[in-house]
């Protein structure tokens, strides 16, 4: 409500006298008062307020607090034709990080294998069909000819999804899984799990609900990386031995690297994965390290351009002398082309999953520093170009010094293809497709 709406509400529900008295006394309208929650409030006739006036039901409070996990609104229609529903928050350009892209690739391949229609259901933003097509094309896959796009706005109580007997669902988070399970039989739901999502929260109400979904043994799980699968088993998710399959993501060969490096005196490029509002990316710890790296001469400004890529990145100066380039999140093709010109990367992720940027960079021939976490101690199984360090500032600074030296000592040009990970999604997801079919 704006101020005038507050005043109008107070006039209607408390009376002109009360409004004048409050204005004269200079007492502001608090949120509780606006909602009718005054202690000892009276109605316009001067009688005590009726019991319950201004109170919301417990169900309404819970529904507002946990809007994202309310049962998906559906209605039944006749039909048995098989259809796969990919349920995610958004597939717009700003959301097409590795996880969402992987969900698109898996859904497209699974629908093709089943001979099923594919329906993409987004919950927070209307779907961008161009982004969907770009993800597939950049990864060497054809866009299915029978894709349907639906925006089932989670905040719109009138929005509904038609469901028939042939519908199956691929969910992409614990909250989309919880919502779908509120309306759909568990045997029709598969959950693509790409992080220990319990780590998104402190030990509170969200953590409890997330944990409950991840502990379910009546749905199937698809786990992104063996590392995450092992971590989940070691932290109590033993049911996954019977209900889950894991895969390693694929990183197709990058475009030819076209920079000339020192031969034409161009600066080398350091990419810092900068997401201040995603706490697990440790933006501020990374900023500390970069600031020291410039101040102590680890990063020579005359040789290196520092590029911060992410959302909501503040304007900042490193070592009181270097103003880094700041780039927003990119479309899939634009990001792929950018990665091809990066010499070194600094990408933090305080979870057991390796995350995609370090793998993106190493698969494209860059050197990259990331952090250790739990059983994530060494990522040499992907590439010798990835350096893992403890999360102390001193350890990360030493790691960055190592990566800079590796990059500066590397030959100009594409270099050796020492990537040990998968290059083809059809191979990478082949076992998953067989598990789910």
pLDDT tens digit sequence for 97-139: 789 999 999 999 999 999 999 999 999 999 989 889 999 998 8
32's CB contacts (< 8 A; 6+ apart) are 38
Q: What is the pLDDT of residue 2?
A: 46
Rounded to the nearest angstrom, the gap between the alpha carbon of residue 330 and the centroid of all alpha carbons in its chain is 14
Q: How confident is the model at residue 96 (pLDDT cuts 50, 70, 90)?
A: low
Q: What is the pLDDT of residue 3?
A: 41
**What is the mean predicted confidence (pLDDT) over 258-267?**
51
Give the domain ranges of the chain: 1-44, 69-247, 261-409
Q: Give pLDDT, residue 116.
A: 95
Q: According to the model, what pLDDT value does residue 266 have?
A: 79
Q: Residue 162 corresponds to which tokens in the numbers above?
A: 């038609």
Predicted confidence at residue 30, as pLDDT, reads 34
**Which two tokens mark 155?**
């905040």
> Contact at 8 Å (CB) between 323 and 309?
no
Name the token pair of 322.
């270097």
% the chain with pLDDT above 90? 73
pLDDT score, position 51: 57
Crossing angle of the two packed helices 98-114 and 129-138, in degrees rounded to 10: 80
Contact by Cβ (8 Å): 56, 36: no
Instruction: Tell me the sheet residues that pair with 87.
Output: 121, 171
CA nearest neighbour of 249 among 85, 100, 89: 100
Question: If you classify domain 261-409 with CATH, what class do you get?
Answer: alpha beta
Cβ burial of 118 (10 Å; 0-12, 13-18, 19+) is buried
Please give the average per-residue pLDDT across 24-43, as a whole number.
34
Cβ(86)–Cβ(120) under 8 Å? yes
Query: Which strand (E) or helix (H) includes residue 31?
Result: helix 31-34
Question: How do residues 40-68 score in pLDDT, each as one tens digit?
Answer: 333 334 455 455 678 999 999 999 999 99
pLDDT of 289 over the 50 cut: yes
Q: Provide DSSP, 217-233.
A: SSSEEEEESHHHHHHHH
86: Cα separation from own chain's centroid: 16
pLDDT confidence of residue 35: 30
Q: What is the pLDDT of residue 98?
A: 80
Cα dihedral value 222, 228, 233, 239, nearest 10: -10
State the pLDDT at residue 33: 33
Helix (H) or strand (E) holding 402: helix 393-409
CATH number assigned to the domain with residue range 69-247, chosen from the 4 options 3.40.50.11090, 3.40.1360.10, 3.40.50.920, 3.40.50.300: 3.40.50.11090
Instruction: Scan for tokens 């600066």, then name that residue.
Output: 267
- Residue 388 near residue 379 (C-beta atoms within 8 A): yes
**Contact (Cβ atoms closer than 8 angstroms) between residue 345 and residue 273:** yes
Any bridge partners for residue 370, and if so which?
A: 388
* Cβ contacts of 271 within 8 Å, gap of 6 or more: 307, 309, 338, 339, 342, 344, 345, 346, 347, 357, 361, 366
Residue 217 has which token pair? 């043994």
378-431 confidence digits (pLDDT tens): 999 999 999 999 999 999 999 999 999 999 998 654 445 799 999 999 999 999
Closest CA to 317 of 300, 338, 294, 340: 294
- At 22 the pLDDT is 40
> Dihedral of the CA atoms 195, 200, 201, 203 (nearest 10)?
30
Backbone φ, ψ for residue 74 (5° rounding): -130, 160
CA distances from 127 to 91, 148, 213 (A): 6, 10, 26
Tokens of 62: 């819970």
Give the model's pLDDT for residue 254: 76
Q: What is the pLDDT of residue 416?
A: 56
Distance CA 258, CA 255 (A): 9
Query: Average model confidence (pLDDT) for the chain?
Result: 86
| Residues whose CB falls within 8 Å of the CB of residue 54, separated by 6 or more in sequence, listed in order | 35, 36, 37, 38, 41
pLDDT recorded at residue 261: 40
What token pair was written down for 178? 């919880």
Predicted confidence (pLDDT) per residue in 318-363, tens digit: 998 999 999 988 888 888 889 999 999 999 999 999 999 999 999 9
Q: Which residues pair with 245 in a beta bridge?
A: 222
């Amino acid at each position: 409500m704006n101020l005038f709406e507050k005043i109008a509400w107070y006039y209607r529900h408390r009376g002109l006298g009360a409004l004048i008295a409050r204005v004269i006394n200079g007492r502001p309208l608090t949120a509780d008062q606006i909602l009718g929650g005054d202690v000892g409030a009276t109605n316009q006739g001067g009688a005590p307020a009726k019991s319950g006036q201004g109170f919301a039901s417990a169900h309404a409070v819970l529904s507002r607090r946990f809007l994202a996990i309310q049962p998906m609104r559906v209605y039944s229609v006749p039909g048995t034709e098989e259809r796969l529903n990919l349920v995610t928050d958004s597939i717009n350009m700003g959301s097409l990080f590795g996880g969402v892209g992987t969900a698109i690739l898996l859904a497209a391949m699974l629908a093709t294998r089943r001979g099923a229609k594919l329906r993409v259901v987004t919950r927070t933003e209307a779907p961008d069909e161009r982004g969907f097509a770009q993800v597939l094309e950049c990864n060497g896959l054809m866009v299915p000819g029978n894709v349907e796009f639906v925006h089932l706005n989670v905040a719109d109580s009138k929005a509904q999804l038609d469901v028939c007997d042939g519908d199956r669902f691929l969910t992409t988070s614990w909250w989309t899984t919880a919502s779908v399970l509120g309306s759909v039989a568990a045997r029709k739901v598969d959950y693509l799990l790409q992080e220990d999502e319990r780590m998104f929260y402190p030990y509170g109400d969200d953590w409890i609900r997330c944990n409950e979904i991840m502990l379910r043994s009546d749905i199937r799980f698809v786990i992104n990386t063996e590392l995450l699968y092992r971590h989940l088993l070691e932290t109590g998710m033993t049911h996954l031995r019977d209900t889950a399959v894991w895969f390693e993501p694929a990183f197709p060969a990058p475009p030819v690297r076209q920079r000339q490096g020192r031969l034409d005196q161009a600066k080398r490029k350091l990419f810092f994965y900068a997401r201040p509002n995603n706490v697990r990316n440790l933006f501020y710890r990374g900023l500390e390290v970069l600031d020291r790296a410039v101040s102590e001469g680890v990063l020579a400004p005359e040789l290196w351009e520092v590029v911060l890529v992410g959302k909501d990145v503040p304007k900042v100066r490193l070592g009181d002398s270097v103003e880094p380039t700041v780039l927003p999140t990119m479309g899939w093709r634009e990001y792929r082309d950018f990665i091809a010109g990066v010499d070194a990367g600094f990408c933090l992720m305080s979870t057991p999953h390796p995350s995609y940027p370090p793998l993106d960079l190493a698969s494209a021939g860059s050197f990259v520093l990331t952090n250790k976490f739990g059983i994530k101690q060494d990522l040499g199984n992907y590439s010798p170009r990835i350096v893992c360090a403890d999360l102390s500032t001193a350890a990360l600074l030493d790691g960055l010094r190592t990566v800079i030296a590796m990059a500066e000592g590397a030959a100009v040009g594409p270099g050796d293809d020492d990537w040990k990970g998968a290059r083809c999604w059809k191979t990478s997801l082949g076992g998953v497709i067989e598990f789910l079919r």
